Amino acid sequence: MQTIRVETLSARYDVMAGRGLIQTLAPRIERVAGGLLHRGGLPRRVFVLTSAPIWALWGQCMQQSFSDAPVVLFLPPGEEHKNLKSVEGLLRQMIQAGGDRGSLLIAFGGGIVGDVGGFLAAIFMRGIPCIQVPTTLLAQVDSSVGGKTGVNLPEGKNLVGSFHQPLAVFADIGVLGTLPDRELRAGLMESVKAGIIRDRALVRFMEEHADEVLGRDPKALEKVIAASIRMKAGVVNRDEREGGLRMILNFGHTVGHALEQATGYKTLLHGEAVGWGMVAALYLARQRGTISRAQFERLERLIHLYGPLPPLKLRAAKVAAATGVDKKNVGGVRRFVLPLGIGDAGVVEDVTAAELEAAVGYMLARSAERHV
């Protein structure tokens, strides 16, 4: 097991990555914060937010270490349920089940459960403690760390939310055993991203050990997951609220978000969109000379090694137009994160429409080539 420390201005906590964590969750939570499960000898109300398919696979395993069974709340799977209506229903269930300011919430699921669970904990009785137990690769390496929580509006994704740091994160590699292959590969795109922007050694490891990682060898997965978390924690520690440095986590995301939006969030998983977005960003970087031709080819190869990325059936103009509505584009600036060699990155704000079109054009051409 590896432990990664997150230390932001507002909170300090550990992220644990390893095997066998969910079987021993209750004593681990007690160790993190004694008294969280009990108060004055009486059990506190403990809520677990999950979704039915995850609970069917792992619920028993996860519950076994609790002397008093937690109250289980279900969020139906799917991005369409990550909304305020679900939040209201869940808050009411928490009240009806006797929740109070002393309650604890455990978010046990993928990024959707983590975002909604964290948000419930942020606003229930003006805030209760939260433990994140992420069950997808994406949630383990990305969404469970950093304290961003929230839900979607019909107008766009993640438009309502709050920063609410967890008390601890337990990333159990064993639960990834049931994760569909496509979800695993998509999540690994965030690890590829982590390597490109901040960790040369991770890039090399992912190149050299792709078979083990994709074959879910526990040691290889633990290494990739821990390195990705360490990268994110390192950035969040220095910039909790996305003032500057945290922006680099958006590498591949300007075009990635545009692809998700242009396809109505239906055909591409987030990581797949980011994979293609990274291809576009790498092209831009190559054109600007912030990476060499050899580095460009090497990094694009790495992205496809963790593919296959689904074909993009889109027109360049539609993708380019969609990049303009990303909420991270402050004041209409077209912001791009570009790698500076391998393991470093910077933010540029002066990307021209022509540069963007060329990068999107390259990405679409690569998609067409790979899927003839």
Ligand X SMILES: NC(=O)c1ccc[n+]([C@@H]2O[C@H](COP(=O)([O-])OP(=O)(O)OC[C@H]3O[C@@H](n4cnc5c(N)ncnc54)[C@H](O)[C@@H]3O)[C@@H](O)[C@H]2O)c1
- The residues of the shown chain that bind ligand X, judged by CB under 6 A, are 51, 53-54, 57, 77, 79, 82, 109-113, 115, 135-136, 138-139, 142-143, 146, 148, 157-158, 175, 178-179, 183, 270
What phi, psi does 196 have (nearest 5°)? -60, -45
For residue 38, indicate whether it is catalytic: no
Shortest Cβ distance from residue 136 to ligand X (Å)? Answer: 3
The minimum distance between CB 271 and ligand X, in angstroms, equals 7
242 is annotated as an active-site residue: yes
334/97 Cα distance (integer angstroms):
47
Active-site annotation holds for 313? no
Question: In terms of residues, how long is the chain?
Answer: 372
Does the active-site annotation cover 81? no
Q: Is 164 a catalytic residue?
A: no
Q: How far is the CB of 328 from ligand X (least distance, A)?
A: 12
Q: Strands, DSSP E only, in the chain? A: 2-7, 12-18, 38-39, 42-43, 46-50, 71-74, 104-109, 130-134, 148-153, 156-163, 168-172, 336-339, 345-348
Which of 270, 334, 335, 366 is flagged as catalytic? 270
From 148, 185, 193, 334, active-site residue: 148
Q: Which is nearer to ligand X, 175 or 227 (CB)?
A: 175
Q: What is the distance, to the nearest Å, from the Cα of residue 314 to the centroid of all Cα atoms in its chain? A: 25
Catalytic residue among 30, 79, 222, 242: 242
DSSP-assigned states of every residue in 63-78: HTT-SSPPEEEE--SS
**What is the rounded CA–CA span in Å between residue 194 and residue 200?**
9
CB 121 within 8 A of CB 147: no
Number of H helices, E strands in the chain: 14, 13
Question: Least CB distance from residue 14 to ligand X, whole Å?
Answer: 18
Instruction: Specify whether 366 is catalytic.
Output: no
> Annotated catalytic, 190?
yes
CB of 295 to ligand X, least distance (A): 26
Q: Nearer to ligand X by C-beta: 37 or 271?
A: 271
List the structure tokens of 23. Answer: 């079987």
Peptide linkage before 308 cis (omega within 30 of 0): yes
Q: Is 246 a catalytic residue?
A: yes
Of these residues, 44, 198, 223, 250, which one is catalytic? 250
Select which of 232, 334, 335, 366 is catalytic: 232
Look at strands 12-18 and 38-39 and give their pairing.
unpaired
Q: CB-wise, 158 or 287, nearer to ligand X?
A: 158
- By annotation, the residues acting in catalysis are 126, 148, 190, 232, 242, 246, 250, 253, 257, 270
